[in-house]
Structure 1
């Protein structure tokens, strides 16, 4: 069995992940040599954000022009495939030019199939980001970068009753703020995982997954810790109009600092798609886990649920409706955030290479911490284009 990657499909997937409303594009790739293609895409959007700092008081609003080009190089062989993608997301704030910024995203992926039983996926990335909605917004926007490298080795034929995955990932988080702002958040994260799959039906597999994650802070030794998680569940594909993965288990965080109590609790990750019709999809994702701390918290017990509906009304007209609820309980500090987010989107595929989109997003944070609650409305129109 050989791996086949279609460059146009790959470019569309990358663009969709980074550019809202770009998913419907069918980009035409430029063939550079045999097996090597280049795919450019571009999104230009205009949005009005009535509270772009996500502040409780003294809200600031602005029209924001976003220009987002994506460039993808893809190569494939008989048993391997590669992709290198770069995206620049430039935001121009018409009412606050000091907040103009450009985010950079560079990713590389490789897939190898050595034989029917042995496969390897590798990935690496570098992301440089500036956020106007940040904890230290009254001083300076959060400016940070992440760099990661990782991979998953899989043993077992696709048709076999049992398979096993071994994964590893390393990530560095660094801030570029002045005067050591956010320096206490800088950390190195090393993660290992193993997942065992056992086929219980033609399109359904049971799974058991173990994870180990080590957090090593550059200066804030107080938060050095490791997380251990054990999950079990099912994954299935296109069974009775549904597909998805359900993982349920528990997680424990152990701190190196004996002055901090270890944390533990239930954990789950669920993602399910239901397609009652070929042109209509309902998606449910929900997650509960212990996240890293912020604003003085040793950790955050986070639980989130998102429900979305995507419907193709006509061959070229598609709508998306989504609602999400997030509850963040900050550990060892008195703070609990409850965030509601509602979104609407409409995409018109004018041409194979051209999409027009309009969207609206409302978010509200009800926080027990003073000054952390907010309401925010974003209205957007966009044009996404490719060759």
Structure 2
């Protein structure tokens, strides 16, 4: 792990040096935090709950190099956790997120993203967002064990705008997950994809996208696979903001060896038409809601079929004293690279996050999240319902110091499974961070 982390830092430093020579400014934001947490179920166990008090010390910082046509942002937040009763879980955490961009022209842009995580805590493996609240790296909410693991995900995306609403992209993603526990399955993914959005007229347009994923596993419990996905969507506006859409999605999954592990990895084809409506808040933000029906044709097994909801929204309402972000999505997907691979699923999830400034110094925040996962091909027809709720109260002591106390509730209701659990967490955090970054050099 140390070797891989050093390699990431060296590569980041090399990119930083190359970019700095063309940069208009270099900014650095240091930070440090100490969190004391009471956790009533550190093992996420159904019956044999074990509580503990955990203290985490985390120094960190963000380095930005901003130029006229290119830039780089590197955020590194290491931390060390001390367990009062279970010192065998004392451990380091390394969290590194690097992003870089370059505009070849006003219409053509390259974006690079690399995310690295090393930890023992399963809750550290959560979603990673960009500045607009879009999830750029999906977390793993199925992990339960407190064993050391690390993951790295790198993405390169080239996008080109060739009209007010017309664009195309090409993207490549590589993901890697490794566990110290030999009973857990290491995995890799290689995922190239490309797509185009084109409006024939002001009122009628289309989206066309295709992708390929190669999944590779180190153990003999899951077969390696090739996955092919194609999506075509037709949009028609009824007003400048509101319109209707029709979409067709097709997936082909080809396993290398259907007899590996339990022998349930059978090749399949999915046909999934859907239709609904969309609303365009602004040129870069569109929400959609529709319904569809999927048919999964499985080789040497009984076919599956059923309805699904096709939805997507990520909207921030920002006002003077408060803001609310609403994020929701639903459809069909595949759970392939988590610590508990379940395969083809029908899912729906929603999240609401709100912050209210009671005074200039005092603020309150709350969040609610729900995810429904129906694992279509599981042996026991397993269905998961995940609930997360949280609330906090913070106080800005000075321009560089903030105190926050919070509570979080996590629950998994698992149908036809014994994976259920409940967890309550209460914690207090003191954070030291300047309200403005420091300018380095010139």
TM-score band by shorter chain is 0.7 to 0.9
**Structure 2 counterpart of 1:378:** 425
SS at match of 1:57: coil
**Aligned counterparts of 1:142 and 1:41: Cα–Cα separation in 2:** 27
**Aligned counterparts of 1:205 and 1:382: Cα–Cα separation in 2:** 51
**Aligned counterparts of 1:371 and 1:142: Cα–Cα separation in 2:** 21
**Structure 2 counterpart of 1:5:** none
Runs of 4+ with deviation above 6 angstroms: 133-136, 204-207, 247-255, 260-265
Matched, 1:49 2:39: yes
1:328, CA displacement in angstroms? Answer: 1.9
Residue by residue, what CA displacement relative to the aligned partner does 1:181-220 show, whole Å, maximum 9, x if unpaired?
Answer: 112x52323241425265999xx99873624241412245
**Structure 2 counterpart of 1:333:** 379
TM-score by length of structure 2 reads 0.67
Pick closer, same or farther for the CA change 1:103–1:211 going to 2, 3 Å. Answer: farther
Pick closer, same or farther for the CA change 1:152–1:350 going to 2, 3 Å. Answer: same
Pick closer, same or farther for the CA change 1:309–1:192 going to 2, 3 Å. Answer: same
**Structure 1 counterpart of 2:183:** 181
**Structure 1 counterpart of 2:328:** 286
Pick closer, same or farther for the CA change 1:243–1:150 going to 2, 3 Å. Answer: closer
**Aligned counterparts of 1:252 and 1:144: Cα–Cα separation in 2:** 35
Pick closer, same or farther for the CA change 1:209–1:47 going to 2, 3 Å. Answer: farther
Q: In the comparison of the two structures, how many residue pairs are matched? A: 343
- Taking only aligned residues, the RMSD between alpha carbons, in angstroms, comes to 3.6
Bigger relative contact order, structure 1 or 2 (CA pairs below 8 A, ≥6 apart):
1
Pick closer, same or farther for the CA change 1:125–1:283 going to 2, 3 Å. Answer: closer
Residue by residue, what CA displacement relative to the aligned partner does 1:356-378 show, whole Å, maximum 9, x if unpaired?
Answer: 11111112222124431111111
Pick closer, same or farther for the CA change 1:135–1:386 going to 2, 3 Å. Answer: closer
**Aligned counterparts of 2:73 and 2:293: Cα–Cα separation in 1:** 34
Q: Which stretch of structure 1 is more off in the superposition, 44-53 or 125-134?
A: 125-134
Matched, 1:58 2:48: yes
TM-score by length of structure 1 reads 0.76
**Structure 1 counterpart of 2:28:** 38
Pick closer, same or farther for the CA change 1:259–1:236 going to 2, 3 Å. Answer: same
Which runs of 5 or more structure 1 residues have no equivalent in the other structure? 1-32
Pick closer, same or farther for the CA change 1:339–1:215 going to 2, 3 Å. Answer: same
Which runs of 5 or more structure 2 residues have no equivalent in the other structure? 1-22, 124-140, 234-244, 246-277, 435-442
**Aligned counterparts of 1:279 and 1:81: Cα–Cα separation in 2:** 31
Residue by residue, what CA displacement relative to the aligned partner does 1:40-76 show, whole Å, maximum 9, x if unpaired?
Answer: 1112111111111111011010111112222222212
